[in-house]
Amino acid sequence: MSFRDNLLHLRATRNMTQEHLAMLVGVSRQSVAKWEAGRSNPEMDKLIKLCEIFDCTLDELVQGDLTARAPEPQLAIPAEALASDVVGYDEHQRRFAGRIALGVAAIIAGFACAAYLDGVAGEGMQAAAFFGGLAVGLAFIIPAGIEHAAFTREHPYVADFYTAEQRLEESAVFGRQLALGIAVIFVGVVFGACSEGRVGENVASGVLLACVAIGVFRIVYCSMLHARFDIEEYNISALEELSEEEISGIVGADRAAEVLDKVHRNRRIGAACGVIMLLATAIALPLMFWATQMGDAFWTRFFWMPWMVGGLLCGIASIVLQKR
C-alpha cells in the first residue's frame, strides 16, 4: 500500500480537510494536495508529525496498510466546521498581544513612577522605580517573544478561518479601542499643560506618563489583535527564519518567488525599524538623564518623544518599503 493511500484514508477517518491537516503539520494546503496526488513526498520531520497526528509508526505510514483503520468519531472534526482554528492560533495571538502590551505599559509605568519620585525621594528610589518597571516589562516581553517564535516554527502556515462577520466586528472594536487609547494619552497631555504651576512638576510628569502607559497599552493590544486577522501576513512572517529551500517546500514552487519577495521585504522593514528604534533609544535615554541633572522641566516631562517620533518613522519606512 502506498503512502498516499494511507494518508487519504487517515485524513478521512478524522473528517479532516486538507487545510486542517496542513495547519497541524505546518505546511500549505497545496503541499498536502501534492502528497495525496503522489506528486511529492513530505520530508522526515513532516512524516514524524503525521505519525504523531494519526498515532501510527513511520513504517506503518510509509510502507504499511492503514486503509482498514476504522473512522474515529471522537477525534473527527465536525462536518460543519468548514474553517476552524485547529492549531490554537487565535488563543495564542490574544495571549501574545496581552503580554506584549503589558510589557510595554510596565516599562512606561516605571518611567511614570520615576518621574513622580523626582524631588520626593532620592535618586536611588527613582532608579529602583525605573529599572523595576523595565524588569517587569521585559519579564512579559521576552517569554512572550520566545513562545511566539516557537509557535511560528511549529505552525509556519495557518489557513484563514475567520468569517466576514468576525472581521467586521473586530474592525469596529479596533476603532473604538484605538480612539480610547489616543483619548487617554490626550487627557494626560492636557493635564500636564493645564496643571503647570498648580501642582508639582513631578506630579504632572507622573500623571502624564501614567496616562501614556494606559493609552499605549490599549493601542498596542488592540492593534495586535486587529493584526491577527491578517493571516497571510502571519504566514509570510513565520517563514522569515527559514531558508529559501524550506520556504519553497512549504508554499510550493509555483508561489515560491512571490512569497520570497514578501519575506525579503519584511526583513528589510524589520532591519530599518530596528535601526530607527535603536537611534531613538540612544537619544531618549541620555536626554532623560541630562534633563534630570540639568533640571530642564520640558525635557524631563517629554524625554520619551524620540520614541514616539521613531514609531512614526517606522510606520513611514514600512509604507515606503512595501510600495517599493
Identify whether 159 is part of a domain. no
Half-sphere exposure of 283 (CA within 13 A, CB side): 16
The candidate with the shortest Cα–Cα distance to 107, out of 131, 85, 128, 90, is: 131
Q: What's the rounded Cα separation, in Å, for the pair 134 and 121?
A: 19
Helix (H, G, I), strand (E, B) or coil at 284: helix
Task: Please count the residues of the chain.
Answer: 324
End-to-end CA distance of the chain: 51
The residue among 208, 229, 250 that closes a domain is 229
Q: What's the rounded Cα separation, in Å, for the pair 60 and 53?
A: 13
Identify whether 64 is part of a domain. yes
Same structural domain, 223 and 243: no
Identify whether 53 is part of a domain. yes
Same structural domain, 257 and 307: yes
The conformational region for residue 160 under phi > 0 = left, psi -120 to 50 = alpha, else beta, is beta
Same structural domain, 36 and 150: no
Same structural domain, 129 and 207: yes
Identify whether 184 is part of a domain. yes
Identify whether 85 is part of a domain. no
Same structural domain, 117 and 225: yes
Same structural domain, 121 and 186: yes
Same structural domain, 249 and 312: yes
pLDDT computed for residue 99 by the predictor = 95
The position carrying cell 514524524 is: 48
Alpha helices (runs of H) in 55-163, residue ranges in sequence order: 58-62, 89-116, 123-154
- pTM comes to 0.72
Same structural domain, 96 and 221: yes
How many structural domains are present in the chain?
3
Same structural domain, 199 and 130: yes
Q: 180 phi and psi, to 5 degrees? A: -65, -45
Same structural domain, 132 and 245: no
Same structural domain, 140 and 97: yes
- Could you tell me the residue range of the domain that residue 150 belongs to? 92-154+164-229
pLDDT computed for residue 82 by the predictor = 47
Helix (H, G, I), strand (E, B) or coil at 123: helix
pLDDT per residue, tens digit, the chain (324 aa), is 678 888 888 888 887 777 778 877 877 777 788 888 877 788 888 888 888 888 888 888 888 888 888 877 766 665 555 456 777 889 999 999 999 999 999 998 988 888 788 767 767 787 888 889 989 999 999 999 999 988 887 777 777 788 888 889 998 999 999 999 999 999 988 887 777 666 667 777 788 888 989 999 999 999 999 989 988 888 777 777 667 776 776 666 667 777 778 878 878 888 888 898 889 888 888 887 787 677 776 676 677 788 878 888 888 888 787 766
DSSP 137-171: HHHHHHHHHHHHHHHHHH-S-------HHHHHHHH
Same structural domain, 34 and 109: no
Identify whether 83 is part of a domain. no
The residue among 181, 210, 229 that closes a domain is 229
